[in-house]
Amino acid sequence: MKMSTFEELKKMWGANPENAQVHKPYDHKTLENIIKSRTKKNMKKSMHYFWGALFLQILVYALLSHVIVKYGADTKTLFAGIAGMLLYIPLNILLMKKFKQMAILKPAQGNSGRTLFQYILQQRALLQSFYTFKKRYELLLIPLSTGIGVFLTFKLFVPGGIEENPTGAIITFLITVAGMVASIRLENKKSFEQPLNDLNRLLDEFQAEE
Amino acid sequence: MADSIEDVFIQQINKNLGIAHKICRVYFTDADDRDDVLQEMMYQLYKSYRSFDGRSKFSTWMYSVCLNTAITYRRKGIKQKYEPLTLSHDQLVDPPSSNKDEEINMLFEAIATLPSLNKAIILLYLEDLSYEEISDITGLSKSNVGVRLVRIKKDLEREMKKRIKYNEDVNL
């Protein structure tokens, strides 16, 4: 078989029946269903994150409220409980704001009249911005909240508290932080690093032959 | 929301539906991925339609939205573990009805081996879009589009010759 020239291939491409209107057209109902299901899917994705954050908040506040009410007579315990509560409020508000910016506003802004290059740049900027914020957020929140958690646990359940069991407290702190870091790294790799690498690879393609 | 889908939008989508299907075929080998991304394209087109100001042709705008969607689409993790198909797998496909069909199939397969951006460029070229339109859609300069096309055509010719030779060897 002799290969056609590229001009011939281009003509064949244009004349190929698959290029003509052979696909089943959409009617109102089908398109509506697609849009509804996609909207639901995207909303579910956003809400999944929202419910996760909300569940964590409820858990933290319920636990700390219980500690404050039951053991609040002790000043150190009271302050540790309040510090734990205050720590989560502003950071979670900021986290949700950033997430909303990335997940909810993205489709409406992102895909109209932009070149492929601009679109990929915008996608990367949004993802990178959220990821950078998330890393800073976790860097601050994880050691602080773990520290408060370990302090309260030892204060309430281990005779002598952290003062008399510093090694145990440090080991507990380190194990807890290590567990959290490991699970966060896995999540970050899947949800942020890999997608960012893909977007960077695409942008590299644009610069390859400039 | 969905009740407000305009007739003119559906008509335009149906008239240019081949664009979305061809992009899916070039970018995705897995049927589930193709279905999923096709629906995502429809959703993105619907979401972006209000901002379509008619300054460019509907088809050019549709290429732009569909390519943006395809190129940044993330496959479901588990499917990425599968090995990509090799030349020998292609033999399982029903034989095309004519040499022309066979060449077009080979062209599709050869395009599928290109990097993402080059796939977009050659697809737009084959669809007879001008360098200016390709430049508007991709964000590359016109001269860059020209330079890339020369290289892409060479790569495709090499890939297709390899496939033709392979088929001939298999049929001997």
**CA-CA distances (angstroms) from residue B146 to A59, B125, B132, B140, B142?**
59, 10, 10, 10, 6
Q: Are B5 and A28 inside 8 Å of each other by CB?
A: yes
pLDDT for the residue numbered A165: 92
Q: Which of A39, A45, A159, A59 is nearest to B40 (CA)?
A: A39
CB B117 within 8 A of CB B147: no
User: Could you report the per-residue pLDDT of A43-75, keeping only the tens digit for each?
Assistant: 777 677 677 777 878 888 898 999 999 988 999
Task: Please report the DSSP string for A91-145 in residue order.
Answer: HHHHHHHHHHHHHTSHHHHHTSS--HHHHHHHHHHHHHHHHHHHHHHHHHHHHHH
Q: Is residue A32 part of a domain?
A: yes
The total domain count for chain A is 1
Q: Rounded CA gap, B98 and A12, in Å? A: 12
Q: Which domain covers residue A100, as residue numbers?
A: 26-207
Q: Across all residues in chain A, what is the average pLDDT?
A: 83
Q: Is residue A16 part of a domain?
A: no
The total domain count for chain B is 2
pLDDT for the residue numbered B87: 47
* Whether residues B91 and B171 fall in one domain: yes
* Whether residues B167 and B94 fall in one domain: yes
Any residues with CB less than 8 A from the CB of B128 and at least 6 apart, and which?
A10, A14
Q: Is residue A10 part of a domain?
A: no
pLDDT for the residue numbered B86: 46
pLDDT for the residue numbered B79: 45
End-to-end CA distance of chain A: 37
Tokens 């950033």 sit on residue: A98
Q: Which of A68, A69, A98, A63 is nearest to A80 (CA)?
A: A68
Give the pLDDT band of residue A164 (cuts 50, 70, 90). Answer: very high
* Whether residues B55 and B94 fall in one domain: no
CA distance A34 to chain B (A): 6
* Whether residues B23 and B92 fall in one domain: no
Probe site for chain A from B22, B25, B48 (most A CB atoms < 10 A): B48
Using CB atoms, pick whichever of B46, B100, B138 lies closest to residue A35.
B46
* Whether residues B77 and B50 fall in one domain: yes
Q: Is residue A139 part of a domain?
A: yes
Task: Return the CATH number at B103.
Answer: 1.10.10.10
Probe site for chain B from A13, A22, A33, A126 (most B CB atoms < 10 A): A13
Q: Is residue A21 part of a domain?
A: no
Is B96 an 8 Å CB contact of chain A? no
Q: Which domain covers residue B44, as residue numbers?
A: 1-82
Q: Are B68 and A114 inside 8 Å of each other by CB?
A: yes
* Whether residues B134 and B74 fall in one domain: no
Please check the confidence at residue A171 and state whether its pLDDT lies above 90. Answer: yes
pLDDT for the residue numbered A103: 64
* Whether residues B76 and B89 fall in one domain: no
Domain boundary among the residues B21, B49, B82 is at: B82
pLDDT: is A91 or B27 the higher one? B27
* Whether residues B119 and B65 fall in one domain: no
> Which residues from chain A sit within 8 angstroms of residue B161, using beta carbons?
3
* Whether residues B45 and B94 fall in one domain: no
Does this model's pTM top 0.80? no
Phi, psi of B57 (to 5 degrees): -70, 155
Using CB atoms, pick whichever of A10, A36, A117 lies closest to residue B138.
A117
> Which residues from chain B sit within 8 angstroms of residue A190, using beta carbons?
77
Q: Is residue A126 part of a domain?
A: yes
Task: Return the CATH number at B56.
Answer: 1.10.1740.10
Per-10-residue mean pLDDT of chain B, 172 residues long, equals 69 90 90 90 89 85 92 62 45 56 86 92 92 92 94 91 81 67
Domain boundary among the residues B47, B82, B117 is at: B82
Q: Is residue A94 part of a domain?
A: yes
* Whether residues B21 and B64 fall in one domain: yes
pLDDT for the residue numbered A41: 80
ipTM for the predicted complex comes to 0.73
User: Could you report the per-residue pLDDT of A99-151, keeping only the tens digit for each?
Assistant: 776 665 554 455 556 788 988 888 888 889 888 988 988 898 899 999 999 99
Q: Are B47 and A111 inside 8 Å of each other by CB?
A: yes
Locate the chain A residue with the closest alpha carbon to B164. A1
pLDDT for the residue numbered A4: 80
Give the pLDDT band of residue A191 (cuts 50, 70, 90). Answer: confident
CB B117 within 8 A of CB A206: yes
Amino acid at A176: T
Domain boundary among the residues B82, B107, B125 is at: B82
Any residues with CB less than 8 A from the CB of A77 and at least 6 apart, and which?
A67, A68, A71, A152, A155, A156
* Whether residues B170 and B88 fall in one domain: yes
Q: Rounded CA gap, A81 and A72, in Å? A: 8
**CA-CA distances (angstroms) from residue A56 to A52, A53, B161?**
6, 5, 59
Q: Is residue A17 part of a domain?
A: no
Q: Rounded CA gap, B16 and B144, in Å? A: 27
pLDDT for the residue numbered A182: 94
pLDDT: is B86 or A198 the higher one? A198
Q: Which of B118, B127, B111 is nearest to B145 (CA)?
A: B118
* Whether residues B96 and B144 fall in one domain: yes
